[in-house]
Amino acid sequence: MVTTDALEVEPEVALQRLIRTVETSVPGLSLSGVVGELRPAGELFPEHAGDPGPRVDPRLQLREIGVVLSYEGDEGWGFRGTASSDPSIGRWAEFATHLLASIQEVLVDSTTEAWPEVSGGDGRALASPGAIVENGVLHMWYGERLAPVLAFAPVRLIR
């Protein structure tokens, strides 16, 4: 069973594009991408007896995608990764949202300030991360999609 859309760029290319886009918008942030090997879905999502969640098709071949985060030279933030049971190009939105939440956690912990802060907030309100793939392009933001506090340049995921 195929795990990507036919016109999708290689995962390493997509991840590097995403990393460059995010690093450009977040001064002091350094990301190093990690793309795992294809593995049977059952290895990444083992079935648990009595688990009410959706079952993952065992025929799928999936990979873990992640980054190592560094902020202002502090490399102690480690690896943040995820594997998606969604084999479509849409999995990049799930990964990007996870990544943006991790970046937000690192910046808030490092600076002890809300980042990015919701306009008009009391200094503690955080803008929620979001991402969506439309027509082969990944869109990422913090805040409301139509009125983001911070929006990133679009990332092309198809050839």
- Residues 62-94: tens digit of each pLDDT: 888 889 999 998 877 777 778 777 878 999 999
Residue 99 lies in a domain: yes
pLDDT for res 33 = 92
For residue 4, being part of any structural domain is answered with: no
Residue 112, exposed/middle/buried by CB under 10 A (0-12, 13-18, 19+)? exposed
What angle, 0 to 180 degrees and rounded to 10, lies between the N-to-C axes of helices 91-111 and 11-25?
Answer: 30
**Number of structural domains, the chain?**
1
Burial of 105 (0-12, 13-18, 19+ CB in 10 A): middle
pLDDT score of 4: 47
> Does residue 78 fall inside a structural domain?
yes
Encode pLDDT of 14-55 as tens digits: 999 999 999 999 999 999 998 988 888 878 777 644 556 667
Helix locations, the chain, DSSP H = 11-25, 41-44, 91-111
Q: What is the mean pLDDT of residues 104-114?
A: 91
* Per-residue pLDDT, 62: 84
| Containing structural domain, residue 140 | 11-45+57-156
Query: Which of 12-21, 92-101, 117-126 shows the lowest mean pLDDT across its residues?
Result: 117-126
Q: Would 52 be classed as within a structural domain?
A: no
Whether residue 143 lies inside any domain: the answer is yes
Distance (Å) of CA 86 to CA 19, 67, 93, 158: 21, 19, 11, 17
2 domain residue, yes or no: no
> How many other C-beta atoms can be found within 10 angstroms of the C-beta atom of residue 48?
8
**In this prediction, what percent of the chain has a pLDDT beyond 90?**
55
Residue 2 has pLDDT above 60, yes or no: no
Which pLDDT score, from 0 to 100, does residue 78 have?
77
Tell me if 89 is assigned to some domain.
yes
